[in-house]
Amino acid sequence: MKLIKGLLITLGLFILFMALCVAGFLGYVTLVKYKPLPVSHLKVVRSSTTSRKKVNDTFNLLTWNIGYAGLGKEMDFFYEGGTMVRPTEAQCTRYLEGILQSINSVDSADFAFLQEVDAYSHRTYKIDEVTQIEDALPGYHSVFAKNYDVPFVPVPLREPMGRVEAGQMTLSKIVPDSAIRYALPGSYSWPKRLFLLDRCFIHTQYTFPSGKTLSLINLHNSAFSDAAEARQMELEKIKKLMTDLYAKGQYVIVGGDWNQNPPKFNISLITDRNKVFAFEHVPETFKPKGWNWAVDQSKATNRNVNEAYLKGKTSATIIDFFLTSPNIKIISTNTIANGFENSDHQPVVLKVKLK
């Protein structure tokens, strides 16, 4: 009897100790959690090779979620049905080198939106991808906005993700007049929200030699099926800003990773031999009258990461595209099909002319 009582006391003390550890950990993360302001001005890192390069009224804009150089074709991801947490260090280095080469090869891109760029994360071996991108693309000015900053992500328990610091970048061949981070509302409750992204979008503004003012909005909206409410709130905030800017006479382009299909998405139009699926669409009511979607309907831009990529077997869809204001003429939209070699997304290039 005394032995059983002793075991119960030991078990009780162990459970109490573990509960205190969990409570202490959650308390610590709550205290140090990244708490961005609703609106914050971003630092512009100026190009090391240009001072004030001119961009004509006809220009190209690239968008690419680079998957933090950790989701190349060999990878799956534990949070979306796979088993892997991070690539090997050699794979990570190879993915990043491939991403940089790909961006460099699109030398006609005057502007670029990048999402999921790691600054200091365990999942990518603490490689500063922001600095590497800036160094590899000296002809661009850049801004970086954090949307993920957690001291330790404890899942999966067998191999925790650990430290994560990541965000979005906007690159441009002309100096932005301003660069602002707008925080987006979240829908997750405590403590889950402690370990997820603090979503945002980047608004950069440029003055062209013609005197026209261009506003670019680089977005990366909420993912996962349980974030539908957050996506709706995000779209409302984005729409308010873009319509306000257009009302002031500006030229506006919104683009990036919407984590939704475009309106009227039709899987039969995709001809790249991927296994295509459709899911939640951006509501048709989101687009104001006269605005235009810019989507390459022929090629998938994103693939499922529940398994390593195999063309024709792995599911893929379109979630990376643009929306332009009525005073912009869309010339072309082209998804660069690279077989998801270095990311779970493929880059999309938009060519436009300011009217």
Q: Where do the structural domains in the chain lie, given as residue ranges?
A: 1-32, 36-354
Q: Which residue matches tokens 């991403």?
A: 99
What pLDDT shows up at residue 24? Answer: 77
What pLDDT shows up at residue 11? Answer: 76
Cβ atoms within 10 A of the Cβ of 250, count? Answer: 17
Note if the pTM is more than 0.85: yes
Cβ neighbours of residue 287 closer than 8 Å, sequence gap 6 or more: 263, 293, 323
What pLDDT shows up at residue 48? Answer: 79
Tokens of 4: 């059983």
Tens-level pLDDT at each residue, the chain (355 residues): 677 777 777 777 777 777 777 777 677 677 878 889 999 999 999 987 855 567 899 999 999 999 999 999 999 999 899 999 999 999 999 999 999 999 988 778 999 999 999 999 999 999 999 999 999 999 999 999 999 999 999 999 999 999 999 999 999 999 999 999 999 987 677 888 888 899 999 999 999 989 999 999 999 999 876 677 888 899 999 999 999 999 999 999 999 999 999 999 999 999 999 999 999 999 999 999 999 999 999 999 999 999 999 999 999 999 999 999 999 999 999 999 999 999 999 999 999 999 9
- Spatial CA neighbour of 300 closest among 261, 270, 342: 270
Give domain 36-354's CATH number out of 3.90.105.10, 3.40.190.10, 3.60.10.10, 3.40.50.720. Answer: 3.60.10.10
What pLDDT shows up at residue 225? Answer: 63
What is the residue-wise DSSP string for 34-85? ----SEEEPPPB--SS-SS----SEEEEEEEE-GGG---TT---GGGT---S
What pLDDT shows up at residue 26? Answer: 72
Q: Which residue matches tokens 């390069």?
A: 53
DSSP 213: E
